[in-house]
Structure formats: C-alpha cells, structure tokens
C-alpha cells in the first residue's frame, strides 16, 4: 500500500474509532426522543439523482462525507457506502470514468473528478476494514469494485486487473484486527476464483 494511501487509511480508521467511542458515550447519555429517523439524510434520493443526471454528481461527495463523518452511525454509514458502490459500478459500466481522446475539456474535467472520488471512496472502504462491524461489508464492496474496474476500465491492451487497489485490499484484510475477515476472504474469494488466487499470491510475495 503506497505511503499516501496507507496514511489516509490510518487517519480515517483512527477517526472512525474515535468518533464511534464518542457516539457511544452520547448514546448512553441520551434519553428518549425519536428524531434520528428525521435527521437521517435521504440516501436513496441522493443516489437516484446521481444516476438521473450528471448535474447531481456532487451528491457523490456528499455520500462520501456521510460515510466518513458519521462512522458511529451504522444506519447512515452502511447505506451510504452501499449506494456509492452501486453508483460507481453503474458509472463504470457506462464508461463515464474512461478517459476519452475526443472528450471536451469539460468532460475530461468531470472524468478526472469522478476518478478522484472513486479513489477517495476506495480509501474509505479500506479504513472500514479495521472496524469490527463494518469490515465484512467493506471487503465485499471493495471486491465488487475490483470486478467492475477490471471489466470497464482499460489500459492500452484492453481490460486490466486493478492490481494496486487489490494489493491495498489484501493488506487491509491481513492487517485488520477483525480476525474473521481473513476467513471470509478465503471462503468468498480466494477459494473460488483462480484470478484472485493468482493476484493474491503475487501480492504477498
């Protein structure tokens, strides 16, 4: 995992842990009330708007912020990262993250911005793999992104396996304090797919 990515993951993981502890204390002090449902952002609406029109792409940044800023609230974090996964898989399938030679300057800027948000989202998922509750979900979403990127983002020779991101996932799985994560990775991926075995063995050499 490159230093900058590793640092970002570590900072997010620490922030997540710290805020979870703070939220737990607040919940113990809180009595009664039923305003949480009213305060929860309409994540489904944000997702639908993104897929409806590129003018709503800023909703992607909003969803990433929700996932990172409310780590102690699983009712917001999990729906936010799930929505982002669906969004990015759809945008990848549509070719919206592919750099096109004939793209206008405006379109090229949008593509660059989307790729930066994808990278930011990937870092968020990596940080979640250090969380007992979120780790398994984060791993499954990360691997779904690996599949989508491999299918829809190409290099000069054609479809390319996202080795760098996969190695980041592998390192997070191996270093995570969540022990069951490694067993789930073996059961769900390493034991089922030849290409995953190949890149796993390459990644741990």
Q: How many whole angstroms separate alpha carbon 111 and alpha carbon 87?
A: 14
Four-CA torsion 130, 147, 53, 84, nearest 10 degrees: -10
Could you report the per-residue pLDDT of 42-56, keeping only the tens digit for each? 999 999 999 999 999
Q: How far is CA 43 from CA 16, 79, 136, in A?
A: 20, 7, 21
Q: Looking at the predicted structure, is the pLDDT value of residue 149 above 50?
A: yes
DSSP string, 5-56: HHHHHHHHHHHHHHHHHHHHHHHHH--S---HHHHS--HHHHHHHHHH-GGG
Q: What is the pLDDT of residues 59-78, one digit of tens each?
A: 999 999 999 987 668 889 99
Section 105-127 average pLDDT: 96
179 within domain boundaries: yes
Residue 23 inside a domain? The answer is no
The CA distance from 183 to 185, in Å, is 5
Residue span of the structural domain in which 181 resides: 3-18+39-203
Q: Is the pLDDT of residue 8 over 70?
A: no
> What tens digit of pLDDT does each residue of 165-203 get?
999 999 999 999 999 999 999 999 999 999 999 999 988
Contact 204, 190 (CB under 8 A): no
Query: At residue 2, what are phi and psi to the nearest 5 degrees?
Result: -55, 150
125 occurs within a structural domain: yes
In a domain, 159, yes or no: yes
Given a cut of 80, is residue 29 above it in pLDDT?
no
Is residue 28 assigned to a domain? no
Residue 26 lies in a domain: no
Give how many domains the chain has, as a whole number: 1
Q: What average pLDDT is seen over the chain?
A: 85
In a domain, 119, yes or no: yes
Query: Is 72 a member of any domain?
Result: yes
């Amino acid at each position: 995992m490159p230093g900058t990515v590793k640092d970002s993951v570590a900072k997010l993981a620490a922030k997540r842990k710290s805020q979870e502890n703070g939220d737990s204390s607040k919940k113990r002090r809180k009595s009664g009330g039923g305003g949480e449902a009213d305060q929860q952002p309409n994540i489904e609406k944000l997702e639908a708007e993104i897929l409806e029109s590129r003018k709503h792409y800023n909703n992607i940044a909003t969803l990433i912020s929700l996932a990172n800023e409310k780590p102690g609230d699983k009712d917001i974090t999990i729906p936010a990262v799930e929505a982002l996964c669906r969004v990015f898989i759809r945008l990848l399938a549509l070719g919206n993250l592919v750099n096109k030679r004939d793209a206008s300057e405006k379109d090229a800027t949008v593509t660059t911005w989307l790729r930066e948000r994808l990278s930011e989202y990937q870092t968020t998922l990596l940080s979640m793999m250090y969380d007992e509750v979120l780790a398994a979900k984060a791993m499954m979403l990360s691997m779904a992104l690996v599949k989508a990127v491999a299918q829809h983002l190409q290099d000069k020779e054609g479809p390319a396996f996202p080795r760098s991101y996969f190695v980041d996932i592998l390192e997070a799985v191996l270093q995570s304090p969540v022990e069951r994560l490694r067993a789930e990775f073996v059961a769900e991926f390493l034991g089922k797919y030849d290409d995953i075995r190949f890149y796993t063995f390459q990644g741990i050499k």
